[in-house]
Structure 1
């Protein structure tokens, strides 16, 4: 006969494995992250207030930080949130042009829907003259179109 522990004595000194997950630390971390995002999200939405037109076109994913040119409802021109005079625009755009053989930067053009079409085309003409031809026109998404 084999000698071993009696069935009544098995596992007496061991604890049963815990089958529950303690979710309290997870909830704490998630609440902290939620608070951080709620505080920082309004700070990320800065820029020139422009009433953009609607479009069904899909969104573009830029590889690098694009040059942003905005025209507000009064026709003022902003380059990367800095207001510039229209006479200074060609000089500023020339400075943004890459060196010979360099990769051309992406340009996002945002113009208020109430602006004269000719004013927007003058800015696009200056972009073309400066050699910045990768221009994307920014609109609101199709979900917001009503």
Structure 2
């Protein structure tokens, strides 16, 4: 909203009774659009994180923070393994893990394992054994918190 503070005559700057152009910017529509975009991104961001549909088990473990440069390994109900969102052929997991970039200190990236609750425990241990053999000794197991629908991470040392 603009207000003319130039004097009582209403002439403005031009002096000929014409109106001078307003130099103020109305930011209300910009703020409205930005708030709508913020809400859209807040709703869609959690949906982008989990690409492979997995029925996670529940746990009472404490939540770990999200770390930068982590790799998600998902195991679907039918036993297929996905590295991030790309399916890995049987017997190819070790090679794909060895090709992952290391940190500046030479350490492997953090692996988060999402496994379907209906999978055989032995199948999950086979994949964890391949992770250990490839040099990934710190693995975060993703679960659902008891009574919540949000994934939680629980650290497990593969041995």
**With structure 1 as the length reference, what TM-score do the two structures score?**
0.71
Post-superposition offset of 1:124: 0.2
Return the structure number with greater strand share. Answer: 2
Greater displacement, 129-138 / 31-40: 31-40
Gaps of 5+ in 2: 1-26, 150-159
Q: Which residue of the other structure, out of 56, 59, 62, is the alignment partner of 2:63?
A: 59
Quick one: structure 1 residues 126 and 35, their matched pair in 2 at CA, closer, same or farther if it must change by over 3 Å? same
The answer to whether 1:109 aligns with 2:122 is no
Quick one: structure 1 residues 135 and 56, their matched pair in 2 at CA, closer, same or farther if it must change by over 3 Å? same
Gaps of 5+ in 1: 1-24
* Distance across 1 between alignment mates of 2:63 and 2:45: 22
User: Would you say the 8 A contact 2:103–2:109 is kept in 1?
Assistant: no
Aligned to 1:90: 94
User: Would you say the 8 A contact 1:97–1:130 is kept in 2?
Assistant: no
Greater displacement, 132-141 / 57-66: 57-66
Aligned to 2:3: none
Aligned to 1:20: none
Return the structure number with greater helix share. Answer: 1
Higher relative contact order (CA closer than 8 Å, sequence separation 6+):
1
* Distance across 1 between alignment mates of 2:135 and 2:101: 7
**With structure 2 as the length reference, what TM-score do the two structures score?**
0.66
Post-superposition offset of 1:48: 0.5
Paired residues in the alignment total 122
Q: CA RMSD in A?
A: 2.7
The answer to whether 1:124 aligns with 2:128 is yes
User: Would you say the 8 A contact 2:102–2:109 is kept in 1?
Assistant: yes
* Distance across 2 between alignment mates of 1:55 and 1:26: 46
Q: Which residue of the other structure, out of 127, 132, 138, is the alignment partner of 1:134?
A: 138
Which structure's CA Rg is the greater one?
A: 1
User: Would you say the 8 A contact 1:68–1:80 is kept in 2?
Assistant: yes
